[in-house]
Amino acid sequence: MEDIIVRIFRESCELKEAFLNENLGRIVRVVEVITDALKSGNKILLFGNGGSAADAQHLAAEFVNRFMIERPPLPAIALTTDSSVITSIGNDYDFTEIFSKQIKALGKEGDIAWGISTSGRSKNVLKGLMQAKKMGLVTIALTGRDGGEIAEVVDFSLNVESESTPRIQEVHITIGHVICQLVDYMLFQRVNESQAL
């Protein structure tokens, strides 16, 4: 059992290192566009399915409440939390529409649409991002495997090249935390209450 635990930790660490080596510049650019959007009075819309829905909610909470520093709340909405909206769209239309219809209702030009899909092929995430592009939102995706069609349609793709959903999710939440911390730094010039970059 100990060998399995060690292997899992090593796989997670190695995948994070590999991702960082390939995507450092992309992360910087994503931080910049999110910071610019928030400075301009825009908001972040996050969405995904299953564990990615949980990640969307987790990251929205980090922006709205706080991450590591005391600062004003930042506007972010997880499109995965309103069960009445989601089930009414799924029932009256189709489950593939649950994010695109919310983006139509809530999104505006200059907002950030941030989709999360470990496969890169989630139809509802893809439709949401395509709707966002039509409306002039900036589109960001966290994906896995080969990135799928989602990675091809977004403005900024952060793809974790792995076939392991748990390992992809572990990298996704690390990416999300890095983005939160650096957006805070860009907006407020602080990393935490006792530290500066």
Which residue, chain included where needed, has tokens 């349609």? Answer: 153
pTM, rounded to two decimals: 0.94
Task: Please tell me whether residue 102 adopts helix, strand or coil conformation.
Answer: helix
Residue 190 φ/ψ region, left for φ over 0, alpha for ψ in the -120 to 50 degree band, beta for the rest: beta
Which residue, chain included where needed, has tokens 């893809």? Answer: 126
Q: What is the pLDDT of residue 55?
A: 98
- Domain of residue 85 covers 2-188
CATH number at residue 7: 3.40.50.10490
Residue 16 maps to a domain: yes
Residue 193 maps to a domain: no
Q: How many residues does the chain have?
A: 197
Residue 195 maps to a domain: no
Residue 28 maps to a domain: yes
Residue 109 maps to a domain: yes
| 164 vs 160: CA distance, rounded Å | 10
Helix (H) or strand (E) holding 76: strand 76-78
Helix (H) or strand (E) holding 141: strand 138-144
Burial class (CB in 10 A: 0-12, 13-18, 19+), 3: exposed
What is the tally of structural domains in the chain? 1
Q: pLDDT tens digits, the chain, 197 residues: what are they? A: 999 999 999 999 999 999 999 999 999 999 999 999 999 999 999 999 999 999 999 999 999 999 999 999 999 999 999 999 999 999 999 999 999 999 999 999 999 999 999 999 999 999 999 999 999 999 999 999 999 999 999 999 999 999 999 999 999 999 999 999 999 999 998 655 555 44
Q: What is the pLDDT of residue 192?
A: 59
> Taking a C-beta distance cutoff of 8 angstroms, is the pair 45, 74 a contact?
no
Single-letter amino acid code for the residue at 190: R
Residue 197 maps to a domain: no
